[in-house]
Amino acid sequence: MSSPDLVVTGVGHAGPPCDSSGYLKVRKQRKFMGLQDELAVVAAGRALESAGLPGPLGARAGLFLAVGYIPFEQSDIDLLLAGSLTDGRFSMERFSTDGYASVNPLLTFRCLSNMPAYHVSVNFDLQGPYFVTYPGAGQFYQALEEAAAAIRGGRIDVALVGGVAHQDNFLVRHHFRRLEPSEDRRVDSAGILVLEAASRAGPRVRGRLLRWTIDYRAVDPFEESPSPVEIGADGAMGPASLPVALAQRPSGRFRHELRSRDGFVASSEWELA
Amino acid sequence: MRRQVGVTGMGVVTPIGCSLAAFRANLLSGVSGAGPITTFDPAQLPTRIAAEVRWEGPILRDRKITFALEAASQALLGSGRPRGRGGLSLGIGLELFSMDDLAETRRPGFVPPHSRRERLGFLQTPSDLCVSLISKRHELAHPPMTHVSACAAGTDAIGAAFRRVAEGRADWMLAGGTDSMVNPLGVAGFCRIGATTTANEDPRRASRPFDRRRDGFLLGEGAAILVLEPVEAARARGAPVLAEVAGYGCSFDAHGISEPHPEGRGALQAMTRALDDAEIAPGAVDAINAHGTSTPKNDPVETLAIKKLLGARAKDVPVYATKSMIGHLISAAGAVEAVAAVECMRAGIVHPTINLDEPDPDCDLDYVPHRAREQAQRVVLSNSFGFGGQNACIVLRRTGA
């Protein structure tokens, strides 16, 4: 698809260590936030600053976000398990009393896939629409496609399009290590682009999305993987790989290609001012 | 030029039936699918009841994948395969991990499973595996869309698929949701934040949307998938058009992490956007399938938002809660409730909200308590409001209306 009508007005990225306090409306809310939430808020804040869009975004701004696999830290796993074993085996009775009570109730909020979107919406007063998807770099392309359709359909003026993944933790490492070939290097990161219609952006244009393609070949994940590893700007960043690459690139033309484990074949061309 | 989008097939796996016919019959009769949890021993957890699927066939360790595969096959069987390039849009729940497997990893001499299939099912099954399996089984050409907007995901999935078909970005789509959190970690997680009912002694009466004595939602499980395609294409191939998806809207509350906006701002925005998208005035709405969770916070705010939407007509429009019978299916809720709404429209009957014995004074609409009611419906809204302030609404229209 060619897209001369869509321009990038802002880019932002974030990696650990990450402190979102400066972007929070209510700092006490930080206790609800996991790393993926903080990464998303900081990347969104930086993207909006670079787009020159301060203040509440309101009802004409949308969020289109690809989120990585559910994170769960080793320390939380250890705590949960310690209170749930009898003679080395899982005991539902112990779990029901000791294990479950030992876990911080806020943990639920910190690992849910929709929470990065919540924290971005509440701190920048973004009132939708949205598309919250998961879990990889291919899905970032779908977020981009949905954002473009929303702008072109006149439903929004501004789209925050991004990817965020907290991957350096017990559960996500477990997932990638069991694949063939296994992958140990997973990076925690977030990248957000601010996308607008060219007619609205005026002198704030920082780049253009020239064209993109997105294709697919369905695979049975029990039987095969179409690509031995993710190929992208940095596959280890999962859904954040492309927006982070754009945020780190100073200027010029940039072409991104992706072949993902789950059958996505996508590419895009950008021109950065 | 936007295309008119029809529903030409529906498949369901629910606590009150694993076929469309069984689901419809129980829905219209007000049958509850709740009972004591049987898939594991809930021991001393505060919540020990749920609305489980009574599944008798072989099942994958991750139940929601089996449910979704079955619902997709049912839907396509009913519809016949549409022409052209198809896709999938699915709301899906979290990949929780197995506590048994976790304990196993700590035992001396533990060896991980050898085969790829066993490895992908051990400890946890990544949820995106489900969309790959459905896409492969039905040879879908478009990349699958996965929605993780929590309790709004099923409705978002239908809405996004509707847009793709309406705008000509796909010839046809499978759309719906699947979830099962009826497992130790899922139930305990909801207990830990006080979200679920603890009315363990009387499971069938535990889910009571809009009732004064509601004390949290009843966790359910299941899946529903709909076939969406252009009405014109469906008629050309002689496929049944069961209903039309006429509009979709979504919004963020941008308010509280676990409580809705007190004025119902986000819910109202989602409903208004859906109606605007359909180019239908609020005055034409004949019924609303409510999110109706049976939680203290949701039900009055949803009521308030509906009053703001419908104005003086609010008390004349039936608002019914499918969750009173099947509980809260989380990421599948909106999809199963869309099927319920279509079945009610087709039957000319509004299904009951069961267990509504003593209405909450702040919930003062016509919720169709206890018994189904004959009523023609041309335009119905189906609401889903997610934890974290994501709100979604679709507009369904009776075919030919």
Angle made by CA atoms B224, B228, B234, in degrees to the nearest 5 = 130
Q: B99 vs A132: CB contact, 8 Å cut-off? A: no
The helix or strand, by DSSP H or E, that contains position B71, with its residue range, turns out to be helix B63-79
Q: B133 vs A223: CB contact, 8 Å cut-off? A: no
Report whether B335 contacts B91 (CB < 8 A): yes
Chain A 199-238, residues with CB within 8 Å of chain B CB atoms: 214-216, 218-223
Report whether A216 contacts A264 (CB < 8 A): yes
Q: A114 vs B148: CB contact, 8 Å cut-off? A: yes
**Every domain of chain B and the residues it spans:** 5-397
The helix or strand, by DSSP H or E, that contains position B227, with its residue range, turns out to be strand B221-230
The helix or strand, by DSSP H or E, that contains position A108, with its residue range, turns out to be helix A107-111
One-letter amino acid at A10 equals G
Q: Which CATH superfamily is domain A6-70+112-272 in?
A: Thiolase/Chalcone synthase (3.40.47.10)
Q: Tell me, yes or no, if A112 comes closer than 8 A to chain B by beta carbon.
A: yes
**Every domain of chain A and the residues it spans:** 6-70+112-272
Question: Closest to B43 (Cβ–Cβ): which among A96, A132, A139?
Answer: A96
**Measured between beta carbons, which residues in chain A are less than 8 angstroms from residue B198?**
none
Domain B5-397, CATH number (from 3.40.50.300, 3.20.20.70, 2.40.50.100, 3.40.47.10):
3.40.47.10
Structure tokens, A218 = 């369905």
CA distance A251 to chain B (A): 31
**Measured between beta carbons, which residues in chain A are less than 8 angstroms from residue B95?**
69-70
Nearest-CA neighbor of A117 among A17, A36, A28, A27? Answer: A36
Q: What are the tens digits of pLDDT across the range A193-240?
A: 999 999 999 899 999 999 999 999 999 988 876 665 566 656 688 999
CA distance B48 to B371: 27
> What is the reported pLDDT for B94?
84
Beta-bridge partner residues of B175:
B89, B226
Question: Closest to B254 (Cβ–Cβ): which among A88, A115, A122?
Answer: A122
> What is the reported pLDDT for A233?
55
CA distance B179 to chain A (A): 14
CA distance A207 to chain B (A): 26
Q: pLDDT (tens digit, 0 to 9) for every residue of chain A, 273 residues total?
A: 766 689 999 999 999 999 999 999 999 999 999 999 999 999 999 999 999 997 799 999 999 999 999 999 999 999 999 999 999 999 999 999 999 889 888 888 899 999 999 999 999 999 989 999 999 999 999 999 999 999 999 999 999 999 999 999 999 998 888 887 777 778 999 999 999 999 999 899 999 999 999 999 999 988 876 665 566 656 688 999 999 999 998 789 999 999 888 999 999 999 998
Q: A216 vs B135: CB contact, 8 Å cut-off? A: yes
Chain A 235-254, residues with CB within 8 Å of chain B CB atoms: none
ipTM for this prediction: 0.97
Structure tokens, A84 = 């749930």
Distances (CA, A) of A128 to A118, B99, B250: 11, 37, 7
Tell me if the pTM is above 0.80.
yes
pLDDT along chain B (401 residues), means of 10: 96 98 98 97 96 94 96 98 98 91 92 90 92 97 98 98 98 98 94 95 98 98 98 97 98 94 98 98 98 96 98 98 98 98 98 98 98 98 95 94 44
Question: How many contacts does A have with B, using Cβ atoms within 8 A?
Answer: 203
- Tell how many helices (H) and how many strands (E) occur in chain A: 10, 10
CA distance A205 to chain B (A): 27
Mutate to test the interface with A, among B120, B140, B148, B155 (most CBs of A within 10 A): B148
> What is the reported pLDDT for A10?
97
Angle made by CA atoms B24, B26, B28, in degrees to the nearest 5 = 65
> What is the reported pLDDT for A224?
74
Q: A114 vs B253: CB contact, 8 Å cut-off? A: no
> What is the reported pLDDT for B269?
98
> What is the reported pLDDT for B133?
97
Report whether B176 contacts B226 (CB < 8 A): yes
Which are the catalytic amino acids of B?
151, 291, 328
Q: Tell me, yes or no, if A132 comes closer than 8 A to chain B by beta carbon.
A: yes
Q: B191 vs A100: CB contact, 8 Å cut-off? A: yes
> What is the reported pLDDT for B401?
44
DSSP per-residue letters across B184-219? HHHHHHHHHTT-B---TT-GGGT--TTBTT--SBPB
Q: Please, what sign has the CA dihedral across residues B226, B153, B55, B86?
A: positive
Nearest-CA neighbor of B330 among B141, B129, B196, B203? Answer: B196
CA distance A66 to chain B (A): 9
Q: B160 vs A146: CB contact, 8 Å cut-off? A: yes
